[in-house]
Amino acid sequence: MSDRRWVWGLIGLGIATRVAAVLVLQSHLVPHSTFEHGEIAANIVEGRGFSVRFLGADGPTSQQAPIYPLAVAAVYAIGGVGTPGSLLILELGQALLGGWLVAEVIRLARTIAPGRAWVAPAAGLIAALHPTLVYSATHIQVSPLAATLLVATLARAYEARSGRAAFFVGLWIAALALTDPILGLVAIGAAWAIAGNIGGWRPVALMGLAAVLGVAPWIVRNAAIHGELVLIKSTFGYAFWQGNCSASEGTDKVVRASVDRSLARETVGLRDLNSSLWEARHEAGYIDDIALTAVDYEILRRVSEPERSRILFRRAIHELKQTPGRYASLCLRRLRYFLLFDETNPKTRNRLYRASHLGLTLLALIGLAMAPGEVRRRLGPTIVTVGLITAFHSLTIVSARFHIPIEPLLAVWAGAGLGRVSTVAHASRKVEGVGIGGGLAGRQGELLDLG
């Protein structure tokens, strides 16, 4: 099979698996499944601007980064606000996005391991079929887009060979940060890749300049509505409080016995199973439901959005100080949740989720161990990126959806393990070729002698 045919075959496979998941699971019929993105999008379409009800108050917001809610709003403008038709369009769009993700994974793998024929196909196949990546297309959430932009940014950083290319990498970083600001940590890995290609500080500085210019309009907008500097999102303090307040298990969700009862319900088929998982997810709710009182909401309602986050951040710090050692325990728990399973999320209790999550993690670690030394060194920027994202969530708050953007990078690690195998196979073919050529040359000599 030609190179072009297998690439398009994997892209098509990535799209097909996601379309099948969307049509079989029917998540677009699940009520209350769009969360903050859907509310902001509805407000945009209905003329209230980029706004949301957040911590007791309605108004213009920086609670979410802008790109994904704007995309949801564009679909709402076509298919209606929150209608099943609109949600189906969004999910099918994310299925198509899955094809782009596969293409970017292949591109990144080829750049990291050039000439090692099996690495890119293996990485692309995992990206096309990995269950959590496929399942994420059936949710109105930012993770599929964020995962694709993360891989695309790193791929272009590895390819950059000029200051102009480095500048455009900065624009990719800006787009990623305006989708999910935490993933802006990729800038460190991208800088490493660019410096390794070009050398010197100038290309990295150009990358940084482009990133700043790209996010500047949104920061200016935030300053205009909040009256102070807000770097993309205003919610770091709020998220830290969710993950570290006295009622928290390290995530934003609540552990309730009623969740277990929802999960214990007998199901028939994948669609029914998906419905029960959504039911359990809604039953779990958010930590806000049990940790904030009516008095708290009244206090928070009276201050600006950034101040609400600062108040909750200070409260979390105060509560952590009352119990020495609790923060370290929560960080270790979050690391375990991130690397293994988030015990507070009903969906991660599913055996298929756990098997696929563990399987990808093991394949990634085996791939790193088996990768040829040169390939392992070239994986450095991806390793730093994964490490920084993991560390951030371990220190603040964790959720299963935060793991999705790094899974395509783990697919590349898994594929890298085949670099050594493909090298051996290539060497074997070369030896065979030399043997055949030598035999023919020898035989030719014998014929000449006979002549």
Sort 304 into a burial class: Cβ within 10 Å, 0-12 / 13-18 / 19+: middle
Strand partners, 286: 253
329-374 residue pLDDT tens: 999 999 999 999 888 888 888 888 899 999 999 999 999 999 999 9
Give the range of the structural domain holding residue 380, as residue numbers without chain letter. 3-416
Residue 43 lies in a domain: yes
User: Domain count of the chain?
Assistant: 1
DSSP H or E stretch at residue 59:
strand 57-60
104-154 residue pLDDT tens: 999 999 999 998 889 999 999 999 999 999 999 999 999 999 999 999 999
DSSP string covering 359-409: HHHHHHHHHHHHS-HHHHHHTHHHHHHHHHHHHHHHHS---HHHHGGGHHH
Coil, strand or helix at 116? coil
Residue 199 lies in a domain: yes
Overall pTM > 0.75: yes
402-432 residue pLDDT tens: 999 999 999 999 999 887 775 544 444 444 4
pLDDT above 90 for 317: yes
Residue 426 lies in a domain: no
How confident is the model at residue 422, as a pLDDT? 57
Helices (H) and strands (E) in the chain, counts: 23, 2
How confident is the model at residue 427, as a pLDDT? 46
Q: Rounded mean pLDDT of 383-397?
A: 97
Q: Where are the beta strands (DSSP E) in 236-351?
A: none
Residues 6+ apart with CB under 8 A from 280: 259, 262, 263, 346, 347
79-100 residue pLDDT tens: 999 999 999 999 999 999 999 9
Residue 422 lies in a domain: no
How confident is the model at residue 239, as a pLDDT? 96
Residue 438 lies in a domain: no
29-45 residue pLDDT tens: 988 889 899 999 999 99
Tokens of 427: 């060497």
CA 1 to chain centre: 31
Instruction: Give the residue carrying structure tokens 């990729």.
Output: 186
Residue 133 lies in a domain: yes
Residue 425 lies in a domain: no
Residue 424 lies in a domain: no
Tokens of 124: 């692309």
